[in-house]
Structure 1
Amino acid sequence: MGGETEVRTIDYHTGGEPFRIVTAGVPEIPGATVLERRTNASAPEIDRVRRLLCHEPRGHADMYGCFLVPPDDAGAHLGVLFWHKDGYSTACGHGTIALGVHAVESGLVQADSDGDTDVVVDVPSGRVTARVHCSGGVIESVTFRNVPSHVTARNVPIIIPTAARTGAPGAAGTGAAEAIHVSGATRGAAEVAVDIAYGGAMYASLPAGAFGLSVEPRHLTDLIALGRAVKAALRDHPAARHPTDDRLSGIYGVIFYDELGPGHQRNVTVFADGEVDRSPCGSGTAARLALLHADGFTGELTHDSIVGTTFTGRVAEVRGDAVIPEITGMAYRTGSHRFVLDPRDPVGPGFTLR
C-alpha cells in the first residue's frame, strides 16, 4: 500500500494512565538538548505523528505518549519528549516509570535480576532516574527520582466564575457552581486560594472540598471544568513562572485533592486543556510532596488516583528550598502496535472529541 505513513509503538499503562512509546516512524528531531528538541518537535512533519497517535481514531482526548530521542550526554541512557493531545509537556512521572519498565523489558538497559537497576532519562525539565526493582527476574516496582521540586507560592487568591455551563473551556459546571455558592460565593463568582508548586512542571493545588466536591468519578465533569477555570485564572500569573528557565513556566496542571488520613491523599490532576490523569500523577505527586514538606510532613505519602490506583512518595533529599522527591509505582505493557495512515484517508491525522 504505497504512500502510507507507518508508526510503531509499544504501549503501557501506569496506574491506569496510558503511555504510548514510539519506536519507529518519527522524523529526526533536531536540537542539542532534549529541551531544545521539545521546541523543535512542533515542526509540522514531526507534530503530525503526535496528532496521528493521540487523536481519534487511533487515540483519544486523554491519550499520552512520547518520542524517544538521544540524551543530552553519555550520562543518561535515553532522552524523551512527552506529548498529549495539546502538545508537549516538560515532565511526566508516570511516563518515566513506564520508560524504566520498557528499558529493562526491551534490553535497552541490562538489569540485575534480583535488585535495583537505574535507568537514567533526560526529560525537558532535567535528568531523572527510574530505579527498577526486580526479584527473580521479574519487575516488581519502579521508583521515579525527580528533578528538584519546590514551592512557588501559597494561598494565591483567584476568582472562579460560577454561572457558566459544565464543559465550557475555562468555566465551572452547574453542579460545581451550586457547590461554590453554598460555600459563600455571591454575584456569580467565587474566590478560592491555590498553592503553586513545581515538580518538573507547574501545578496549582487545592482541595476538591473548596467547591463542595470530592475526588470521585461522579464529580469528574465538574472537576474538569473547574480545572480549566483555575488554569485560566492563573494564566500569566507571576507565581507560575519558573525562576531560571521561562520554557518551564506556566501552569500545566491543576490538582484537586481529598485528605483521607495522615499521609494519605486522593487526587485528580486536570492538565493541558481539560485532560485527566488516570494515575496519581508522578510529577504532580512531586509538587504535592514539596508543599507537604514545607508544612512539616516528613513521612511517606500514599497518593491515590480517581480510579483507585496508588503511588507512594517521599522526600529523599533536601537541597536548600527544594526537595528531591521519589515516587514509586508500576507500569504494565498493554500492547504493541503498527499504526498506518492511508494518504486517501479524509480525516488525516485525526480529531478529538470530549
Structure 2
Amino acid sequence: MTATPESAPASASASAPTVVRTADYHTAGEPFRIVDTLDTFSGGLPPAPGDTVAERCATAIGPGGSGTAPRRGALDDVRRLLVQEPRGHAGMYGGFVVPPDDDGAHFGVLFWHKDGYSTACGHGTMALGAWAVDTGRVPAPADGDVPVRIDVPSGRVGATVHRAGGRTTGVTFRNVPARTSARKVPVATTLGLAEVDIAHAGACYASVAARDLGLEVTRACLPSLARAGVEIRAALATHPGTWHPGGPLLSGVYGVIFYEELPDTPFGPHQRNVTVFADGQIDRSPCGSGTSARLALLAEDGRLGAGDDLLHESVTGTVFTGRVASATPAGLVTEVTGAAYRTGEHTFTVDPYDALGTGFLL
C-alpha cells in the first residue's frame, strides 16, 4: 500500500484538544459524527476562521485547494482524531457545527471525511436536522413537521424533521438547485469504456450505469466499483463539465455514482446505487446529494414527471425517496426523504503519552 500524509502515525504533540465530545448518528446506514464547536461544554476546540460557511470551508481545505492538502490547521487535527483509527475508520463521515452566515439559518456546518472536506452532504443534513430537534436546539412539537435551516459550503439547505408521538420519524432534505452539465462523456477505465453523466447538486457527481462496466451494484462488486470510481474521478479532473460557476470550491468531481435500474414502482423510477467518494470510500446510504444529482438527470431524460418519486436504494438495502419540488433558473430544487437515528455520544480523549496521537489510516 502507498502511504499518504495521513497514513502515518501522528505525533502525540499534535494540536488536537485532549477531550472532544461528539454526538453520533447514522442516516440510512451512513455514519455522521457531529462536533458542536458552538457548545461551550465542548470546550477547547480550535476556531474555524471565516465570515461565511463557504469561507470557513475554504480555510479548512487550505491553500492546496483540494482535499489532499497536507496541513490545514488546528481544527483539522480534530477531524483526523475522529476519522482515523483507533477512534474512527476510513468510512467515517462527520461535521463541525459552526455559526451560520446570518440569522436566517439555525447554524452552519463544515462536512468532513477521511481525506478532508466536502461542500455538500445530504445524509449529514438529515442527521443534523434530527440532532437539532433531539437536543432542543430547534424546538419541535410532538406531532408535525419542523424546518431546520442549515448553511453549508454550497449554500443554504433545509431539513424538515417529521414528528409523530413525540419522536422523529423521518427527515426531508431540501437541497440547493441541481443541474446537469455534461452527458455521455466517454471515460476509459481498466474495466472498459464508460459513458458518464455529470450533474451538480451542492457537489459535482458523475453517474455511470454499472452494467456498462460489466458490474452490478452488489457488495461482491464493491472492490471493482471503488477502483473504477477512483479512475473515473481522476480522468474527469480537467473536464469542463465539472466546473461550477461558483468557483473552485464547488468544482471538481466529488463522487462517482454507479447505478442500476430496478422495476419502476407505481410512483416512479426505482434504482439501486453506490456512490464512491474521496479516495475510494463507499457511501453506505443512497447518498442524499447524489440522489439530487440523479433526480436532475432523470428529469432531463423525461423519466421523472410532476408528482413522481425516485425510490433510491443503497448497496446496503436502505432507501431514500427523492422528488423534484420546483424548477428555478439555477436548476431543480429537489427533496430527499430518509431516516436518521442516534447511535451514541462519545467523549474522545488524547493521552499525551500516546505515540499514535490523532491516529492512523490503513
- Fold conserved between structures, TM > 0.5: yes
Deviation at 1:245, TM superposition (A): 2.3
TM-score scaled to structure 2, two decimals?
A: 0.88
The correspondence for 1:323, drawn from 308, 313, 332, is 332
Structure 2 residue aligned with 1:291: 297
1:131-160 per-residue CA deviation (whole Å, 9 max, x = no partner) reads 001112111110000000100100011111
Distance in structure 2 (CA, Å) of the matches to 1:21 and 1:101? 11
Q: Which AA in structure 2 matches 1:302? A: L
Structure 1 residue aligned with 2:145: 116
1:278-301 per-residue CA deviation (whole Å, 9 max, x = no partner) reads 000000000000000111112100
Distance in structure 2 (CA, Å) of the matches to 1:64 and 1:202? 18
Please identify, of 250-259 and 239-248, the stretch whose mean Cα deviation from structure 2 is larger. 239-248
> What secondary structure does 1:35 align onto?
helix
Q: Spell out the pairing of 1:149-228 with structure 2 (5 A cutoff).
A: 149-160=178-189, 162=190, 177=191, 190-228=192-230
TM-score scaled to structure 1, two decimals?
A: 0.90
Distance in structure 1 (CA, Å) of the matches to 2:291 and 2:249? 21
Contact 1:125/1:200 (CA < 8 Å) preserved in 2? yes
Q: Which AA in structure 2 matches 1:197? A: A
Deviation at 1:244, TM superposition (A): 2.9
Distance in structure 1 (CA, Å) of the matches to 2:330 and 2:263? 26
> What secondary structure does 2:321 align onto?
strand
The correspondence for 2:85, drawn from 48, 56, 67, is 56
Contact 2:193/2:212 (CA < 8 Å) preserved in 1? no
The correspondence for 1:339, drawn from 320, 345, 348, is 348
Distance in structure 2 (CA, Å) of the matches to 1:321 and 1:210? 31
Q: Does 1:310 align with 2:316?
A: no
Distance in structure 1 (CA, Å) of the matches to 2:280 and 2:292? 21
Distance in structure 1 (CA, Å) of the matches to 2:357 and 2:188? 40
Deviation at 1:4, TM superposition (A): 6.6
Deviation at 1:44, TM superposition (A): 2.1
Structure 1 residue aligned with 2:112: 83
Contact 2:260/2:273 (CA < 8 Å) preserved in 1? yes
Gaps of 5+ in 2: 1-15, 37-41, 62-71
The correspondence for 2:35, drawn from 15, 19, 22, is 22
Q: Does 1:147 align with 2:170?
A: no
Please identify, of 34-43 and 331-340, the stretch whose mean Cα deviation from structure 2 is larger. 34-43
Q: Does 1:266 align with 2:265?
A: no
CA RMSD of aligned residues (A): 1.2
Gaps of 5+ in 1: 163-176, 178-189
Contact 2:58/2:249 (CA < 8 Å) preserved in 1? no
Structure 1 residue aligned with 2:55: 36
> What secondary structure does 1:47 align onto?
helix
Contact 1:231/1:253 (CA < 8 Å) preserved in 2? yes
Distance in structure 2 (CA, Å) of the matches to 1:332 and 1:114? 18
Distance in structure 1 (CA, Å) of the matches to 2:33 and 2:150? 16
